[in-house]
Every structure is written in structure tokens, then in C-alpha cells.
Structure 1
Amino acid sequence: MFERTGTVMTKKQRHHAILEVLQKDGSERVVSTREFAEHLGVSEMTIRRDLQELDRQGKVQRMHGGAVLPQRSSVPTGRRGQIGILLTFGKDKYTDPFFSEVLQGADRKLQEAGYRAAYVFGFAEVYTREQARALLQNYPVDGIILIGAHYSRSVEYLKEHAKVLVSTNYSLGPERDAILLDGRTGVRALVDHLARLGRRRLGFITGYNDSREEGFIEGIRANYLPDNLELRVRLVQSSFESWTPEMGQRGAAMLMQQHQPPDAIVCASDRIALGAMQWIHQNGFRVPDDVAVTGFDNIPGSEFTIPPLTTVHVHKELIGALAAERAIRRIENPDEIPLQIITPTSVIIRQSCGATG
């Protein structure tokens, strides 16, 4: 074991420290990401990024849970496949808590199977058909995983030319594998719960229309609640931006400044809900006394908001793991039929909805 440094390091210094640790311990055992993180005083996600970059440079060999020196790889290099990963957004691509967990699940499954992530790019870097063509030419891989919903000419090109293409959170059509989440059922259950608590005028904030909005509409109609377009806020955003708290602030302002504001706001993501709650608190309203707020995703930290956020749990790492698994299966069995897998969701009741239990 080794001592924690206790100092803040640059990326170059972290890489140097990682290699030093592996030169000492990495020929005898797998050094875990947790050990690196504790030693360097950074998050495990930061260590995973560092190990991914060092692995691409051939300086370390990533293994399940950590890394070793290259010569200790238990999988012969000639047998390993390479899979590229494209994220739905381009800025701060590792910081979105939802997609970070999906990425983590995919990365872990690839390592377990002896594969490696050849690259992790945002769609801002691969947006046009020309950029997609250059990607396939300059970074030849056995398959590509798309994490997050995205519609662009680059995706159309990849559908036409990528040997294996697996999407998450949205479907590319029946001819491609997709790992989806059951947003409709999750949001419908939230609406039913709010109606049972006596909430009668529900608002909804989202970035774009998907199964979550469909579940919201289905729920308010089933509970005979007002179905007004003014209560559904769909915010236009850049094609490769994640759903941010700023969106929640804007959406809450649009809803709460109406002549008849809602007594509950259902948000299509936890980050949107965080921004909505902030605007509500800053403008003299109380959650949940004046207005209930719910999220979707159950990201880390959602239980520590004030009050704790009612949300819908999504199996984020499972989505990533299943995407990697399907990509590997299609690489190794090209004639296997594509699957559209829907992962379940479940409501997490906390105090932001007004529940007392």
C-alpha cells in the first residue's frame, strides 16, 4: 500500500504518479482505481480517464477495477477488440452524472470481456457526415456505442457504414441494437403518486419530447388533471448539451410566473429538478409546501437536496454494461438478430413531493 500525496496535481503529474505506482506494484497485482484515487486525492472517475489515456498510449494495461503494467495483460493483444464510444454532448463530457455512470458501466463490461474503449468523443467532435467518415478512417474499431439521444448527419452516416452500432436511451431502428429505459412507466407512476397526494395542477419541464413526456401526459389524463400546453415546458437546446440545472431554472420561472402556477413540477431529469428547486427557493416559494418537485434519474446526491428529491431510479451502469455486451455479441456473432432492450425504472419517494414517510 502507499501513502496519499495530499497535494493537488496536474494531469501530467497524475500520469507520472500512476506510472510510478505501477512500476512499484503493477507487476505483482492489479492496482485498483480506488487505491489510485485515495493516493492522489482525486475521484475514481478522474483516475479512469487517466488510465484510459495511458492505456491508449500503451503505458498501462487497464484491467477490471484498475490497471497493471502492459506486460501483465491477461488477454493477448491480438485477441482484444476495440470499441469506440460517442457521448451525446461535447462540453464537459465526463461531468454529467447520468452519462458518467452509463459510461462507467460500459467501460467495466468491456474490460471484463478483454475489449477496450479506443476513444470517448462527444458528438460536438463528430457532428457532420464528413467528421463521421474521418472518424471511421482515422480510428478503425470493431464497433461503436452511442451514449445518449442525438440526431445528426453523423449518426446517419454511422448507421450506413459502421459494422456494429449500439445506441442507448433511444432507438436507431429495428436493424440496430438499442438499450432503452422505461421513462413512460416511471413518470406515469410519479404523476399517479402526486395525484394521490392531492396535487391537482402539474407542470412538466424537459429538453425534448420522449417517453417521459408521454408518461406525463398519460398520467394527467388518467387522473383527470388539467392538460394544458402552457404547463408543459419543452426547452430548445444545443444538440450536444446535457440537461442542466439552468434549464430547470428557466422552466420553473416560466411555470411559476403564470397566472395559475402549478402545485407540482415534474422534471425529466434530476439536474433539471435541482435548477427548478433553486429558482423556487430564491423566489420566495417553499418546496413542497407551495409546490412539489420531482426528478428523474436518481443521480448521486439527489438524496441530499433540501428537501431530499423524489425521483425515478434508472439503472445507469446496467444500461452501459448491456450496451457493451450487445456490441461484443454483434462483433463476435454478426448474424445474431439485433435486440431492443428496455431497462426498468422505479419511483424513489422522498420529501420534495410532500410525502411524510
Structure 2
Amino acid sequence: MPKKNQPLNLEDIAERAGVSRSTVSRVINNEPYVSQKTRMKVEQVIEEVGFTPNPVARMLVTQKTRIIGVVIPHTLDDVFDDPFYFPTLLQGVAETTNANDYGMLLWLGQSDEDEARFHRRVLQNRLMDGLILVSIRVNDPWIEQLLESDIPFTMVERPRQFEEHVSYVGLDNVQAAQMAVKHLIGLGYQRIGTITGALDNYDALDRLDGYKIALENAGRDVDETLIADGDFRYQSGYDAMQYLLSQGVDAVFAASDRMAMGALQALQEADLRVPDDVALVGFDDLPGALRSKPPLTTIHQPIRQKGARAAEILLNLIEGEITAPQQVILPTKLVVRQSCGGAD
């Protein structure tokens, strides 16, 4: 029996349950070849004494840490410029990891750190069983490096390279952007501009493609002077709208709600009415979209669900429940409010 105040170990649990130490180990690690009756007896003893397995010993046996990494290769300022998107996505990841007794390690980039060094720090860290990649840049070597390694990973966007080899959870951003622009076309707007996201981002490229396809499907030419570069952040939306006003737009599709909010400020400072003078549509359906004046028409995407599903797929890969890449496209919908003049 253990001394007073000394933690219990597997031998103690085995003695109390009347089984071998190896049987207790198999029960704790959820391994087969243990009868249901024996498993229940061991689990009852574990619950009665409040036994918690030594995580280091468990790691040595299972070769797993029960920790996943989430890589967002952007600076802290960039990540939390939007106080809702990334926190909500991470909440979804955390819900899945917590429910499955996993931990989460967050990796953020630093403006003064060499990109290759950041990659090495993450990939050479042995504390993680797998990775979730979030908002990685186009042509970033993350995907290729991970495919060459034995590290399970998933992505929170649809990649344009190696798509068939990668597990991901994303949106049909092309179709969603088409839906937004088609709505503006249907309301009769003629000079429809767009504020793009950062064009080294997969989602931003797809949303720009959707904008162009919607115009072409309506028999309209794509006017490159009505395309303003943004980077998903508030200030870029403000700056881009000032440029688009000089081009005589009567409607704008912004590739994120944060940019749409910045664009709205620029319109208000120019004493222009929304939607009477310029209509505005965003993307994300953040809480601020409903509170803005006027409330913002936008594309709704299930942000928390994206994180939760990406984590679910990763845990299944880690635990061998699946081996083939899994691709999940979540639904989006157009939420019509007052900023485009199409609300009831």
C-alpha cells in the first residue's frame, strides 16, 4: 500500500482491483483484450480513489502526448486585430480537444523571426501529436514539409496545392462570394467594387474569383480599377474604400466584415449614406455586423464549427480512426440586412 500522501501508481490500482499491472495499463490506455467485467472493475477503483495516470509515464507507453498544436503564422497584433474570428475558431478547437482529454499549444509568428526558423521551432518540437494550420500563406512550405514528415495535420481552409493529399475544413468561398455579388447585381447596382483580403491567403483568392465570376455570369466586364487590395483588417477596408470612392462605385463587396466596418467609416466620413449612395456587403457575419449602423449584409460562415471539425479530423488521424485525407466544406448563407438596400 502507498505511504500517506504518496500518489497511487498502477501497482496500487492493480492490487485494489485484484488484477495485474498490465491489465490496469490496458484499461487506462483503452486497449483491447480486456473483458468488459474486468474493465468496469478497474474503472470503478480508479474512480473511487480519484487516480490520475502519470502523463510522462503514459507518454512513454503510448508514444503520444495528447497535445495538438495550432499554427497561425501571423503576429499577435494581426491575429487579434479582429477580436472575434480567431478567438471563436480557437474556441471550437478547444471544445473538441477538451472533450477528448487533449491539450492545445498555440504557435504564433513574430515579425522579427525568420520564417524558416519558425518552421523549425514548430516541426522539431516533439510535444505535439499533430497540427492544425490556420490562415497559412499561399506557397508557404508548411504543407509540403508536413506531407514529407510523419506529423498528422489538418488545415482550416481549402489549399490550392496538394488538395487531394490534405485534410481540411473550409468553405466554398467562390460560391459564397458569387452569392454576395449576385445579390448586389440583382438590386440594380452597376459599379460594384470589391475589397480583397490579403492575396497571399487562399480564402481571399477564392473570394476574389467569386466576385469576378459573378460579374462575368451577369454579362459584365471585370473592371480592374474597381478591385482594391485589402488584408482583412479594419484599416485596409477604410483605405480601400477611399480609393473606390474615387472610382465612382455604387456598391462594394468586402471580403471580411472587419474591412466592411472600415469601409463604412470611410463612407460616413465622406457624408455618404449607406445604402442610398453606396451599398455594402461583408463576409463572416461577426457580432459587429448586426450592431453596425446600418446593420451589415454579409455572408455567414460557421467559424466555431470550422475549428471544432478541424480538431475532430486531426484527433481521428492521430488515433488511427481514419487514414485517408478528409475534406469538409461547411455551408455559408447570405444574411440580408439594411446596408445593401435589399432587406424587407
Identify which of 231, 234, 238 aligns with 2:229: 234
Match of residue 84, structure 1, among 55, 65, 69? 69
Q: 1:271 aligns with which of 249, 253, 258?
A: 258
User: Structure 1 residues 319 and 131, CA, compared in 2 at 3 Å: closer, same or farther?
Assistant: same
Q: For the structure 1 residues 129 and 73, does the alpha-carbon distance in structure 2 shift closer, same or farther, using more than 3 Å as the test?
A: farther
Letter of the 1:215 partner, please give it.
Answer: G
Aligned to 1:170: 158
CA distance in 1, matches of 2:50, 2:80: 28
The alignment status of 1:111 with 2:98, answered yes or no, reads yes
How many angstroms apart in 1 are the aligned matches of 2:191 and 2:330?
30
Residue 95 of structure 1 deviates from its aligned partner by 5.3
Match of 2:297 among 273, 289, 310: 310
The Cα of 1:94 is off from its aligned counterpart by: 4.4
SS in 1 for 2:151: coil
Q: Does 1:195 align with 2:195?
A: no
Q: CA deviation at 1:291?
A: 0.4
The equivalent of 1:210 in structure 2 is 205
Aligned equivalent of 2:44: none
Question: Paired residue for 2:236?
Answer: 247
Partner of 1:11: none
- With over 3 angstroms needed to count, the CA separation of the structure-2 counterparts of 1:116 and 1:249, relative to structure 1, is same
Structure 1 residues 191, 154: CA separation in 2 closer, same or farther (over 3 Å shift)?
Answer: closer
Give the TM-score normalised by structure 1.
0.72
**Take 1:196 and 1:139, find their aligned partners in 2: how far apart are those partners?**
54
What CA deviation, in whole Å up to 9, does each residue of 1:137-177 have, x standing for no partner? Answer: 34531001011232434554344335111111232522221
Deviation at 1:226, TM superposition (A): 4.1
**Number of aligned residues:** 278
Superposition map of 1:36-115 within 5 A: 77=55, 78=58, 81-92=66-77, 93-94=79-80, 96=82, 97-115=84-102
Q: Which consecutive aligned stretches of 4+ in structure 1 deviate over 6 angstroms post-superposition? A: 71-76
Identity %: 30
CA contact (8 A) 1:217 1:227 kept: yes
Of 286, 303, 306 in structure 2, the residue corresponding to residue 299 of structure 1 is 286
Cα deviation for residue 325 of structure 1 reads 0.7
Do the aligned partners of residues 138 and 149 (structure 1) sit closer, same or farther apart at CA in structure 2, a change above 3 Å counting?
Answer: closer
Query: Match of 2:284, SS?
Result: coil
- Whether the aligned pair in 2 keeps the contact of 1:132 and 1:158 (CA below 8 Å) is no
- Checking the alignment, whether the CA contact within 8 Å between 1:102 and 1:147 is kept in structure 2 is no
Q: Give the 3-state SS of the residue equivalent to 1:134 in structure 2.
A: helix
CA distance in 2, matches of 1:131, 1:356: 47
* Structure number with larger C-alpha Rg: 2
| Cα RMSD for the two superposed structures | 2.4
**Using the alignment, how far apart are the partners of 2:180 and 2:325 within structure 1?**
32
Deviation at 1:215, TM superposition (A): 1.2
Partner of 1:146: 133
Distance in 2, matches of 1:217 and 1:188, equals: 8
Flag structure 1 segments of 5+ consecutive residues without an equivalent.
1-70, 238-242
Structure 1 residues 265 and 76, CA gap change in structure 2 (3 angstroms): farther
**Equivalent of residue 121 in structure 1, options 77, 96, 107:** 107
Q: Is the 8 A contact 2:316 2:322 kept in 1?
A: no
SS of structure 2 residue aligned to 1:324 = helix
C-alpha distance in structure 1 between counterparts of 2:325 and 2:120, whole Å: 24
- Residue in structure 2 matching 1:224, options 219, 230, 233: 219
Distance of 2:280 and 2:308 partners within structure 1: 31
> Is it true that 1:185 corresponds to 2:172 in the alignment?
no
SS at match of 2:75: coil
